């Protein structure tokens, strides 16, 4: 197994910052199916802490259920000065209109400098609704957030297949952006940092939608993609669902997560949540093994922070070899069993 990487991370300060109108940074927190704070949330908090310090305001972590309050210590360690839980029976079960209405109710009272959400399934769902309610601009799926000389938000977005990065400014206040998980560096948490925990009851209209049933389309026997140290990526070169199953068995042997190109998810071979690239997720594994992946820029732009890339493809001219540190020009179906056997013997 790979040893965990040692990162040189920016430390979180232990001092608690005072709230100031027009200078506070709000970060909307998300939890996974098991009630844990997502890595994407911790990435947003890490950047939000840096922004709040430069702006001279506080960072406020916002959530909609008790799970966020239960993780107040973790949120504080990543820079939150205040943990704000919005409470109403209609918010116990997620609806996009409920989330948007609840946050909209408190924005005018607190006047934050900016609101940051994850560009996740939920963030993309209700974030634009919040912006519409407030009449605000929203930069979607940003890959970084910076400040200019006038302390305005600069949201960076890839364009032209990831070949350039465009700075996007907002003319409305508070400024809003959704940020892609996996692109921001985690800070070094501070165990000494503490946050004020507040619960605010908001009035929310009866929801127009309700959850009837929830089920996961992900293979829960595989390591989650978020924050994985080893990731095995599949392209259309694996041939179809049978090839996907063989690659998944290989990933289990390595204790790895699995991802895919857009063409693979378009075919329905794996869930859309595993798509990596320009219109998918960004990842930062220590080891990425690409199997049957062509290596088009709209996929490899999601691999910019991958440390070592190994590519297996029978086409010697495949673009993936330009990104790979190690390339194997071979039929993956012949190479993979040998690799799997070698790893099994090594990991015993």
- What's the first-to-final CA gap in the chain, in angstroms? 10
Q: Specify whether 152 is located in the same domain as 241.
A: no
For residues 143 and 247, membership in a common domain is answered with no
Q: Are residues 54 and 159 in the same domain?
A: yes
Provide, rounded to the nearest whole percent, the portion of the chain with pLDDT above 90: 49
Enumerate the β-bridge partners of residue 156.
144, 167
pLDDT digits (tens, 9 = 90+) for 227-262: 889 999 999 999 999 999 999 999 999 899 999 999
Q: Is residue 270 part of a domain?
A: yes
Question: Do residue 280 and residue 337 come from a single domain?
Answer: yes
Record the tokens describing residue 192, joined without a space.
């000494």
What's the chain's length in residues?
348
Q: What does the pLDDT read at residue 4?
A: 52
Query: How many structural domains does the chain have?
Result: 2
pLDDT at residue number 270:
92
Domain hosting residue 289, numbered range: 230-347
- Cα–Cα distance measured from residue 110 to residue 103, given in angstroms and rounded to the nearest whole number: 11
| Closest to 41 measured CA to CA, from 196, 152, 187, 162 | 187
Is residue 110 domain-shared with residue 164, that is, in the same domain?
yes
Rounded Cα–Cα distance for residues 310 and 149 (Å): 41
Each residue's pLDDT tens digit, 130-164: 999 999 999 988 989 999 989 999 999 877 666 77
Q: Which residues of the chain form beta strands (DSSP E)? A: 25-28, 59-63, 82-87, 114-118, 139-142, 144-147, 153-159, 164-169, 175-179, 196-201, 230-234, 257-260, 287-291, 308-313, 326-329
The answer to whether residue 5 is domain-embedded is no
Residue 15 located in a structural domain: no
CATH code of the domain in which 59 resides: 3.40.50.620
Handedness of CA 165, 166, 169, 175 (dihedral sign): negative
Least confident among 97-101, 181-185, 193-197, 242-246: 181-185
| Residue 286 belongs to a domain | yes
273: in domain: yes
Residues 134 and 192 in one domain: yes
Angle, alpha carbons 260-221-345 (nearest 5°):
90
Question: Of the candidates 62, 181, 226, 69, which has an alpha carbon nearest to the alpha carbon of residue 130?
Answer: 62
Instruction: Identify whether residues 179 and 235 lie together within a single domain.
Output: no
Q: How far apart are CA 338 and CA 334, in angstroms?
A: 7
Q: What is the mean pLDDT of residues 121-129?
A: 91
Backbone angles phi, psi at 164, to 5 degrees: -135, 160
User: Which of the four pLDDT bands, split at 50, 70 and 90, describes residue 5?
Assistant: low
- Say if residue 301's pLDDT is above 80: yes
Q: Is the pTM of this model over 0.85?
A: no
> In terms of domains, do 177 and 278 share one?
no
Tell me the chain's radius of gyration from C-alpha atoms: 21
Q: Are residues 67 and 149 in the same domain?
A: yes
């Amino acid at each position: 197994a790979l040893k965990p990487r040692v990162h040189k991370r920016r430390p979180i300060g232990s001092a608690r910052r005072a709230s100031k109108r027009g200078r506070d940074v709000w970060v909307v927190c998300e939890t996974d199916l098991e009630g844990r704070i997502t890595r994407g949330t911790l990435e947003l908090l890490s950047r939000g802490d840096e922004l709040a310090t430069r702006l001279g305001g506080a960072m406020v972590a916002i959530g909609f259920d008790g799970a966020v309050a239960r993780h107040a210590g973790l949120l504080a360690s990543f820079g939150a000065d205040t943990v704000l839980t919005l409470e109403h029976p209609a918010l116990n079960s997620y609806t996009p209109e409920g989330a948007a209405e609840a946050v909209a109710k408190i924005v005018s009272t607190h006047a934050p400098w900016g609101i940051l959400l994850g560009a996740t399934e939920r963030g993309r769902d209700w974030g634009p609704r919040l912006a519409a309610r407030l009449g605000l601009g929203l930069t979607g799926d940003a890959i970084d957030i910076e400040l200019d000389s006038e302390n305005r938000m600069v949201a960076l977005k890839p364009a032209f297949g990831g070949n350039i990065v465009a700075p996007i400014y907002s003319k409305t206040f508070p400024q809003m952006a959704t940020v892609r998980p996996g692109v921001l560096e985690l800070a070094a948490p501070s165990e000494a940092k503490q946050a004020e925990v507040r619960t605010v009851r908001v009035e929310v209209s009866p929801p127009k939608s309700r959850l009837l049933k929830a089920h996961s389309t992900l293979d829960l026997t595989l390591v989650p993609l978020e924050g994985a140290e080893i990731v095995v990526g599949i392209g259309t070169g694996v041939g179809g669902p049978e090839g996907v199953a063989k690659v998944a068995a290989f990933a289990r042997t390595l204790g790895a997560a699995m991802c895919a190109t857009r063409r693979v998810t378009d075919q329905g071979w794996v869930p859309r949540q595993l798509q990596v690239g320009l219109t998918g997720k960004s990842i930062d594994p220590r080891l990425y093994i690409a199997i049957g992946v062509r290596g088009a820029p709209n996929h490899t732009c999601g691999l910019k922070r991958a440390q070592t890339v190994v590519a297996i493809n029978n086409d010697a001219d495949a673009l993936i070899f330009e990104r790979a540190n190690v390339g194997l020009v071979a039929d993956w179906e012949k190479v993979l069993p040998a690799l799997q056997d070698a790893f099994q013997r090594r990991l015993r």
